[in-house]
Amino acid sequence: MSSVDLKTDVPHSARVYDYLLGGKDNFAADREAAAKITAVWPNLPTSMRANRNFMTRVAHYLAARQGIRQFLDIGTGLPTSPNLHEVVQAVAPESRVVYVDNDPIVLVHARALLTSSPEGRTTYIDASLRDPDSIIKAPQLAQTLDLSQPVAVCLLAIMHYVVDEQEAHDIIDRLMGPMPSGSALALSTATADSNPEEVGRGIAMYNARGITSKVRTKAEVTALFDGLGLVSPGVPLVHQWHPDDEALSIEDSQVSMYGGVAIKP
Amino acid sequence: MVTRGQEGGSAGPTILRVLLGAHLRRLREARGISREDAGWKIRSSESKISRMELGRVSFKERDIADLLTLYGCHDEEERSRLVALAKEANTPGWWHRYGDVTPNWFQAYVGLESAANLIRTYEVQFVPGLLQTREYARAVIMLGHGRAADQEIAHRVELRMSRQQILTRPEPVQLWVVIDETALRRPVGGVEVMRGQIEALIATAKLPNVRLQVIPFDVGGHAAAGGSYSILRFPDPELPDVVYIEQLTSAVYLDKREDVDQYTTAMEVLCVKAEPPERTFDVLDGILSDLHTHS
């Protein structure tokens, strides 16, 4: 086997995210980048936590209210409690979750620590969102998910790394294409609408650190759900989507993510 | 929002506090004394005891002395050792090589181990202590202390077995082991003992909180070639990870961020190079059938 260079000396989005959520799976380059970014974007950690809590509420909604038992989570990131499979397996232990990421460190952590309930199943695919066919055609997907039954495709805090609008639409079409009626798309992505100056500076800093990313308007985010039926309340800032008490305590200007859930007709 | 200490700051004493706190908790529980009663004894509250036991507050010498009395710890040597530990725990920024400070370095490790919620271990030579069978543990201990009295050997084996409780307690520790195939092939204690050990590994690796990855022979030299070590993580978000490296007569504890980063990077490389956890059972089955042919 050839030598492995994990490039821990270069900031990585998953580890910066981990650091900003209070995790310990990060390295000096990640912490330094995070410090530079939060210096100009002080609300980012609050926004990321709001996004993480959005994931929890969405996953619970999909399992409990939509009865979905199969999940395809792309851009898994480093484990942070509660993880998606924990949320949905708490509702239905037999739930199956396929985690997808292309970062080797994220993948080893996912394989070791994102472990299923005995009734359900978790599997892991080493693939990039930028190559959706490699996800859809992965043998682990066919072994884990029954594509005659609804699947929830989760693209949470990842689409802002796809900066080309046409490519973003193509990716979602490719992923949702093989999914049967009743499947869901859960998506959240960055916006500057709620705090243009601060977020603008922050995104510029992300790009300067080599993590290419973009913000979208509400109309652009809504368009990502084209052809699918958005559930109420549509595409609000993530803390306004079926808020709990914690979400209600957050100001709009602190949150720079839109999110929503849509069902395939 | 989580507040953070300075990078590379004086995290040492916090670990000592965790250590001392965990030790006090074990003493209290062994006596069946409630946190409330213990709090009363030191003119304070249940929640103060709870914070002390989690290593979240500094210790007053007088409180430690009163608690040790309440917990029936009257041995002067032990008492002064723990009070000294409490003093050290209140001293900022001194601490990297715990092994220099006390000969009881291994007790210190056991304390940290029981306070951790995630332990990552890389093992080159032996099956890790937390996964050893009684017979295998005895054989390993005999290698190092072959001339010790039977009673001492038995005592060491017992210590090792009791450490394993952290795997099955309520809210068990998450144990993530990377082990070199060499360690699984070397028949410590003979073929029979090794067979029992491999069978036990197959059973333990099925626990939801235990993950075992094997580095096969055909993977060349690897980054952590220095040798075995562990990285311990604690539930408190403020506490840094600690790297633990055992040596013949002492142990090294590293908690400076730069050191921990280097050992963690090496651990990530090992995990990437090792077979994924789902392959472990095939590897263990293969070793087991080889052991059957050889017997």
What ipTM is given for this predicted complex?
0.89
> How close is the nearest chain A Cα to the Cα of B243, in Å?
13
Helices B12-30 and B105-115 cross at an angle (nearest 10°) of 80
pLDDT in the model for residue B108: 63
Per-domain residue ranges for chain B? 13-89, 95-293
pLDDT in the model for residue B245: 87
Find the residue in A nearest to B267 (Cα).
Answer: A105
The number of CA neighbours under 13 Å toward the Cβ of A181 is 1
Average pLDDT of span B166-190:
92
Q: Closest to B241 (Cβ–Cβ): which among A8, A24, A105?
A: A24
Q: Above 90 in pLDDT, residue A126?
A: yes
| CA angle (B230 as vertex; B226, B234 as ends), nearest 5 | 150
Q: Above 70 in pLDDT, residue B100?
A: no
Q: Enter the CATH code of domain A13-263.
A: 3.40.50.150
Q: Quote the CA–CA distance of A169 and A225 in Å, as a whole number.
A: 9
Helices B191-204 and B134-145 cross at an angle (nearest 10°) of 130
> For residue B99, what is the DSSP state?
G
Q: Are strands B174-180 and B118-123 parallel, antiparallel or unpaired?
A: parallel
Sign of CA dihedral A88, A93, A95, A97: positive
Q: Above 90 in pLDDT, residue A137?
A: yes
- A154: three-class secondary structure by DSSP: strand
List, in sequence order, every residue forming a beta bridge with B229; answer none if it has no partner.
B122
Q: Closest to B265 (Cβ–Cβ): which among A1, A8, A115?
A: A8
Q: Above 80 in pLDDT, residue B231?
A: yes
Contacts of B293 (CB under 8 A, 6+ apart): none
Tell whether domain B95-293 is in CATH 3.40.50: no
- Please, are residues B93 and B62 in contact by the beta-carbon 8 Å criterion? no
Tell whether A1 is within 8 A of chain B (Cβ).
yes
Q: Above 50 in pLDDT, residue A78?
A: yes
Least confident of A222-231, B2-11, B28-37: B2-11
Q: Above 90 in pLDDT, residue B263?
A: yes
The answer to whether the CB atoms of B208 and A104 lie below 8 A apart is no
Radius of gyration of chain B (CA): 20
Q: Closest to A27 (Cβ–Cβ): which among B1, B261, B272?
A: B261
pLDDT in the model for residue B159: 79
pLDDT in the model for residue A153: 98
Give B250's pLDDT tier (boundaries 50, 70, 90).
low
- A26: three-class secondary structure by DSSP: coil
- Please, are residues B13 and B255 in contact by the beta-carbon 8 Å criterion? no
More confident residue, B295 or B158: B158
Tell whether A27 is within 8 A of chain B (Cβ).
yes
Contacts of B232 (CB under 8 A, 6+ apart): B112, B113, B116, B118, B119, B241, B242, B244
More confident residue, B11 or B231: B231
Give B192's pLDDT tier (boundaries 50, 70, 90).
very high
Over pLDDT 90: what percentage of chain A? Answer: 93
Q: Quote the CA–CA distance of B190 and A218 in Å, as a whole number.
A: 68
B2 chain-A contacts, CB cut-off 8 A: 22
| Most A-contacting residue of B177, B265, B279, B280 (CB-CB within 10 A), to test interface | B265
The number of CA neighbours under 13 Å toward the Cβ of B180 is 21
The answer to whether the CB atoms of B273 and A24 lie below 8 A apart is no
pLDDT in the model for residue A136: 97
pLDDT in the model for residue B76: 87
Tell whether A22 is within 8 A of chain B (Cβ).
yes
Q: Which residues of B touch A (CB under 8 A)?
A: 1-2, 7, 174, 176, 208, 211, 213, 218-220, 223, 233, 237, 240-241, 257-258, 261, 264-265, 268-269, 271-273, 276-278
> How close is the nearest chain B Cα to the Cα of A7, in Å?
9
Give B79's pLDDT tier (boundaries 50, 70, 90).
confident
> How close is the nearest chain B Cα to the Cα of A88, in Å?
17
pLDDT in the model for residue B59: 85
More confident residue, B111 or A227: A227
Average pLDDT of span B13-29:
79
Q: What is the mean pLDDT of chain A?
A: 95
Least confident of A146-150, A166-170, B152-156, B269-273: B152-156
Contacts of A216 (CB under 8 A, 6+ apart): A159, A160, A189, A190, A191, A224, A258
More confident residue, A38 or B226: A38
A27 chain-B contacts, CB cut-off 8 A: 261, 264-265
Which superfamily is assigned to B13-89 in CATH?
lambda repressor-like DNA-binding domains (1.10.260.40)
Q: Above 60 in pLDDT, residue A109?
A: yes
pLDDT digits (tens, 9 = 90+) for B166-177: 899 888 999 999
The answer to whether the CB atoms of A8 and B268 lie below 8 A apart is yes
Per-domain residue ranges for chain A? 13-263
pLDDT in the model for residue B220: 65
pLDDT digits (tens, 9 = 90+) for B104-149: 556 667 777 877 899 999 999 999 999 999 999 999 988 877 777 8
pLDDT in the model for residue B8: 30
Per the document, the length of chain A is 265
Q: Quote the CA–CA distance of B243 and A209 in Å, as a whole number.
A: 29
Q: Quote the CA–CA distance of B168 and B55 in Å, as a whole number.
A: 23
In chain A, positions 61-120, which contact chain B (CB-CB < 8 Å)?
A: 104-105, 108, 111-113, 115, 118
The answer to whether the CB atoms of B261 and A104 lie below 8 A apart is no
Tell whether A39 is within 8 A of chain B (Cβ).
no
Give B221's pLDDT tier (boundaries 50, 70, 90).
low
Burial of B221 (0-12, 13-18, 19+ CB in 10 A): exposed
Q: Quote the CA–CA distance of A63 and A70 in Å, as a whole number.
A: 9
A78 chain-B contacts, CB cut-off 8 A: none
Q: Above 50 in pLDDT, residue B98?
A: no
Average pLDDT of span B154-170:
85
Q: Closest to B273 (Cβ–Cβ): which among A1, A24, A105?
A: A1
